Structure 1
Amino acid sequence: MSVPTDRIVAGILLMVGFTVTAPVMDTFAKLAGDFVPVGQIVAARFAIQVAILFPLAGLMRVLVRPTPGDALLHLARAALILLATTAFFAALRHMPLADAIAVFFIEPFVLTLLGALFLGESVGWRRIAACVVGFAGAMMVIRPSFAAFGPVALLPVCTAFCFASYMVLTRRIARRMTPVALQAWTALAACLLIGPVLVLARGTEIAPLQTVWPEGRVWVYLAGVGLAATVSHIFISGAVRLAPTATVAPLQYLEIVAATALGYAVFGDLPDTQTFAGIAVIVAAGLYVFVRERHLSRPPLPPP
């Protein structure tokens, strides 16, 4: 089902913004993971989002109280993004950043399929081809190996399915709510879900759900996780508000470019020749989607 009011190009640009800022969040999370348990990092992320977005939404006068139906959607989105974030942050404690993201990149396939099944979006062969080409480029960048990482390599797969479902629910509600208000309510719902879990787990043997007092630069890492998460998810909420999920899904492969660059700059993972070839393939697939959708969104020329 086509949506003529979609501002496709703006949605694509917002999605590109997400692909640049999301790996920044992951980088801070990987840095913090050496000092703070995963559950606390996740909780800090959403607590910072609440602290930023609720005052901002109030100033913008967009903080409308959700209906009971929307409240349930916020809770569902919060549960999905909690699972996705926790699984991915846990993977980052053992896997290089680019490796984890490469495994995660089954997600655009899942998202494109879910968009067609549950949102009635048109999925043509060109979009499917863009997904395939982008995925091939991602595999050229990092060849994930389940033999190398064991069951940990399944965690980004869990993230992919949860995040794709989160995106579909975002698309369902994003047209009725601004991105700032949408992320504010979902962050609050996430805090309400994870807060009691951390309290009940205190003193148990569940190490990922324990809490510690951060020291020194760890505060900066946690603040970086929350700030980057806030910005990136405002971008993605705006993207799926303006453009069909099947259009923006292939662009997620651009995230591997930022992840590879950050992996090299922060963790010393030096890309090889095949990595750069894969990045070129990913960028080409993303640019193809952008140029094609921009062309399709132009109004037809008037008759002579």
Structure 2
Amino acid sequence: MANYSENVRGALLMVASMAAFTFNDVFIKLLGAELPLFQILMLRGMLTSLCIFILCIYFKAWTFNIAPRDWRLIGLRSLGDIGASYFFLTALFNMPLANATSILQLLPLTVALGGILFFQEVIGWRRALAIAIGFGGMFLIVRPGIEGFNHYSFYALIAVGFVTLRDLVTRKIGREVPSLMVTFFNALSICLYSTIAMLWVDWVPVGSTNIVYLVTAAFLVSAAYLLSVLVMRQGEVSFIAPFRYTGLIWALVLGFIFFDHWPDTLTLIGAGVIVMSGLFTMWRETQIKARTKPL
């Protein structure tokens, strides 16, 4: 059992990871006003791949001694990351930061649902009800068919589907495969995909301000990946995992500071419902694991 200081350290690393991811989203959203999406992904991907390559070397995680099955899973995971990047950033460019981030908070619920559908995992009625309530919260944010509906909300939902695929596949990758190595191939795949897509997109000159934004975004997303790896080495997952929802707090604050946007009441209620449902699902899973753990 992890001690208190390890749990606190893990929680702080998770908060820092969510902050880095959200600040990255801010700079990418700022870039989206002036540069094409694929150009942003290509340039950031080059810098991010380089940063993660350096981290792989530093942490001695660079290896090609990976089983064929794991290579296939890494490829499938990369596909999930490519889809998630395209759909989430398209949504982010066309809707408020907090709204897009709120929809992403469905992830723990969709992963639990994916476990049921694809891995025959069994859940009780309480967690099933929590998942259903969480999706009810999503409808409060998306509000299809209601005045003011933003169809880019569906892009954010599709992104959730791709991230769910990525996370479910990650469960099946062998534990002997270094996390940073998997992250490197994901970053590289997004870069290569975007480079190919740029063949059909006009290049836009990158000004000095946008260069600063790109470098900052690449540094932030690399730092976020590193922090995510370090989190897994600290404390108890049941204590640390709920702190991933601090990403929503960061999105609310940064969305207001950088874009002068604050979500309406229904969006805030919907986000709250999703978060509470996710927290309950995590808590129930922890309780069940504790009961079934051999003495």
What TM-score comes out, normalization by structure 1 length?
0.73
Tell me the equivalent position of 1:110: 110
Residues 1:128 and 1:250: Cα distance change in structure 2 (over 3 Å)? farther
List per-residue Cα deviations over 1:251-286 (Å, max 9, x = no partner).
654432221111111111135677776776666666
* Distance of 1:248 and 1:133 partners within structure 2: 23
Aligned residues: 285
Residues 1:165 and 1:287: Cα distance change in structure 2 (over 3 Å)? closer
List per-residue Cα deviations over 1:69-103 (Å, max 9, x = no partner).
33332222222211111111112222111122234
* Distance of 2:197 and 2:105 partners within structure 1: 29
Tell me the equivalent position of 2:4: none
Instruction: Show the 5 A alignment for 1:278-297.
Output: none
Tell me the equivalent position of 1:29: 28
Tell me the equivalent position of 2:177: 177
SS at 1:93 equivalent: helix
Residue 232 (1) aligns with residue 231 (2): no
1:121 Cα deviation (Å)?
4.8
2:108–2:278 contact (8 Å) kept in structure 1: no
1:115–1:246 contact (8 Å) kept in structure 2: no
1:125 Cα deviation (Å)?
4.7
Residues 1:186 and 1:267: Cα distance change in structure 2 (over 3 Å)? same
Output the amino acid matched with 1:227. F
1:42–1:82 contact (8 Å) kept in structure 2: no
Output the amino acid matched with 1:59. Y
Gaps (5+ residues) in structure 2?
2-6
Q: Which deviates the most, 271-280 or 40-49?
A: 271-280
SS at 1:176 equivalent: coil
1:41 Cα deviation (Å)?
1.5
- Of 236, 259, 271, the match for 2:251: 259
1:180 Cα deviation (Å)?
1.8
* Distance of 2:77 and 2:103 partners within structure 1: 22
Output the amino acid matched with 1:28. F
Residue 269 (1) aligns with residue 261 (2): yes
1:58 Cα deviation (Å)?
1.0
What TM-score comes out, normalization by structure 2 length?
0.75
Residues 1:143 and 1:249: Cα distance change in structure 2 (over 3 Å)? farther
List per-residue Cα deviations over 1:165-206 (Å, max 9, x = no partner).
0111122226222322221122123323332232x31xxxxx
Output the amino acid matched with 1:195. T
Output the amino acid matched with 1:168. L
SS at 1:81 equivalent: helix
1:38 Cα deviation (Å)?
0.6
Instruction: Show the 5 A alignment for 1:126-205.
Output: 127-128=127-128, 131=131, 142=141, 144=143, 147=146, 148-173=148-173, 175-198=175-198, 200-201=199-200
Tell me the equivalent position of 1:62: 61
Output the amino acid matched with 1:256. L
Output the amino acid matched with 1:167. D
1:11–1:241 contact (8 Å) kept in structure 2: no
Residues 1:42 and 1:100: Cα distance change in structure 2 (over 3 Å)? same
Residues 1:113 and 1:294: Cα distance change in structure 2 (over 3 Å)? closer
Residues 1:160 and 1:287: Cα distance change in structure 2 (over 3 Å)? closer
Residues 1:274 and 1:188: Cα distance change in structure 2 (over 3 Å)? closer
Residues 1:145 and 1:231: Cα distance change in structure 2 (over 3 Å)? farther
